Amino acid sequence: TFAGAKPQTEAALLYDAVHMLALGLLAASQSKDIKPQSLNCHSRELWSDGATVMNYIAAVRDGRSLSVSRRQLLGARFQPLSGPISLDSGGFRSGYQLVLKERLPYPGSHRFGYWTEKSGLVVTRNYTQTKEEIRETLRGKTLYVTTIIEEPFVLYLKPLQPGEEPLPDPELWDGFCVDLLKNMSGRLGFNISMRRVRDNQYGKIVGSSAEGKEIWNGMIGELMNRVRIVVTVAMVTEIIAYHYKPVGKPQTADLAIASLTITYDRERVVDFTTPFMSLGLSIIYKKPQKEKPSLFSFLYPLSPTVWAYMLAAYLIVSFVLFTVARFSPFEWYSPSSCNADSDMVENQFSLANSFWFTIGSLMQQGSEMAPRANSTRIVSGSWWFFTLIMISSYTANLAAFLTVKRMKSPIENVEDLSKQKEINYGILESGSTFRFFQKATIPTYKSMYEYMSANAAKSFVKSTQQGIERVLNENYAFILESTMNEYYAERNCQLMQVGGLLDSKGYGIGMPAGSPYVDIFSETILELQKNQTLEYLRKYWFRDHNISRPCDDSDSPSGNRHLTNSLGLEQIGGAFIILTIGMLLSIVCGCLEFCFRHARKTA
């Protein structure tokens, strides 16, 4: 007997099957001797009396075809536990109906559909009505929340002594996730009791039980300890969609909220809401030291090769101008305009004047000389066009090079990081980032995981804070989620993000598998997203909160390698040096000319 309790589906079906077999055997034995037959499980030979017994089972399923004595042997009329039994010609059960009932987290249950062979699944329950009933159960209910204390997602406002556990009062907790939960609590009317996860882990598989079931640690493990979903299928009676079975000693939770990444493995064992934040993996690295400006920074807009070609062009054009002017008769003229018959002629484009003319054009200063012949004018026009392009390009580039500090980063992206050996890199020793590299199929990520595994002691870190400290104090690049990259880069102007995102994922609120609250929480998250509450919380906690001195443009964490700065003597000091050298050369040249002239007069 079942002592008034409803049997499990397997037990009810087994009971009915044995009883039906007994009825068939008894009915068949009234008209025929049933002889047991030794059968081999691997043989295809059928029992000779099997078809006879099956026919009698179909005929006497309620016991009415039995004699009174045999019916008394079975007791009262047979009442199937799994509902009325009807068999078809093949001996299979037919004409049955499954009624689906849902048991919610409050006493009682209600029917929400049925299933038959002909109609299939028919849902008669209104989803909106069910959702409102679930909302009603949330009002005033206290949900136990498991979390990890990590800025800026979750903070505990009171200092904790070693070994001391934080109090569950939500007023003592703060952070992005706590503010999100309080917003949802205000909308849905539930209360929260905060708990720090015992092992300070997000959740990963740590083993398996004797039954072969996965054992998880961290927040995922606490969600799995909270409930077990038992689905009971009873013929005609009911299907229990949500049946909560509390588990004993391990710490349990109704929901988990933190920087908890939604992954395939976690989704198999718990349920997640709609992501409340999208992110990806990124690289954080210490900003490179700014290059010391050169006195000859004004030469940087053009490469040394271009400067060399310009010098060569200057020399060649000067010689071409000198040669063409010598050959062209129109460049020769009489120095005396009063004596037209004079045979004395001269040419203004001497070798020295040719060099002076071209350098004057290059410096956009001009000269008193003007070409007379068409040939020299063509040379001059070509040179002027060339200098126009070169000077314009130089001027446009000069402003950027003189007002920008150059910063050279040894790595630009994840490919650069994977190919070099000078910079060590690593990740958290557990969590979704670790599993991302562990299960990676992309060659770059696979090689990076092999490197980190081979150098585990100097690659893996226990916490994000430890990774950031290593970035600041060592030649180390840390791979972490982009949200934390943004948070630390905004608060320490020595840090920057390198490259783009390695993947795309999201943070979600974890709940026990089969929890009826998942859809309601997801809808509330979408509402907060729509009215920009989530964007406000993100801006406050990641960009504004607890920042004593925001990074200015020159300390931008965006990964730019060019930082704007005002001009100093370090950048343009070379121009003063060239000016000084020119003045000294002119003085020396003037003295030599004076001495040479004086020597000729006295000779």
pLDDT tens profile 64-74: 554 544 454 44
236 with 139, same domain: the answer is yes
Q: What is the CATH number of the domain that holds 183?
A: 3.40.190.10
54 with 86, same domain: the answer is yes
Give pLDDT, residue 552. 61
24 with 171, same domain: the answer is no
Give pLDDT, residue 382. 84
303 with 372, same domain: the answer is yes
Provide the token pair at 259. 């920087």
d(CA 274, CA 162): 36
Residue 543 lies in a domain: no
Provide the token pair at 375. 């040939």
> pTM of the full predicted structure?
0.58
Give pLDDT, residue 565. 53
| Nearest C-alpha neighbor of 453 from the set 434, 475, 433, 476 | 434
Answer with the one of 374, 404, 434 that is the final residue of a domain. Answer: 404
196 with 320, same domain: the answer is no
H-only helix segments in 32-153: 50-59, 68-74, 127-138
d(CA 420, CA 287): 18
Residue 459 lies in a domain: no
d(CA 174, CA 104): 32
Residue 274 lies in a domain: yes
d(CA 159, CA 243): 40
| Nearest C-alpha neighbor of 433 from the set 422, 445, 444 | 445
Give pLDDT, residue 50. 75
Q: What is the CATH number of the domain that holds 361?
A: 1.10.287
Give pLDDT, residue 399. 72
- Give the structural domain span for 253: 99-278
d(CA 223, CA 262): 14
198 with 304, same domain: the answer is no
d(CA 454, CA 456): 6
270 with 318, same domain: the answer is no
Yes or no: say if 94 and 58 are a contact pair by the CB < 8 Å rule.
Answer: no
123 with 270, same domain: the answer is yes
The per-residue pLDDT for range 352-395, each reduced to its tens digit, is 888 888 888 888 777 777 887 888 888 888 888 888 888 888 88
The residue ranges of the chain whose pLDDT is under 50 are: 1, 62-63, 66, 68-70, 72-76, 105-107, 228-248, 555-564
Phi, psi of 160 (to 5 degrees): -110, 135
Residue 389 lies in a domain: yes
d(CA 329, CA 233): 114
84 with 112, same domain: the answer is no
Residue 76 lies in a domain: yes
Residue 368 lies in a domain: yes
144 with 267, same domain: the answer is yes
d(CA 53, CA 20): 10
H-only helix segments in 328-413: 351-362, 374-402
Answer with the one of 95, 113, 131 that is the final residue of a domain. Answer: 95
Residue 364 lies in a domain: yes
327 with 194, same domain: the answer is no
Give pLDDT, residue 407. 61
Q: Give the number of domains in the chain.
A: 3
Give every CB contact of residue 334 below 8 A, 6+ residues apart in sequence. Answer: 340, 342, 344, 345, 346
Answer with the one of 372, 404, 436 that is the final residue of a domain. Answer: 404
156 with 42, same domain: the answer is no
Q: What is the CATH number of the domain that holds 29?
A: 3.40.50.2300
Residue 509 lies in a domain: no
Give pLDDT, residue 541. 92
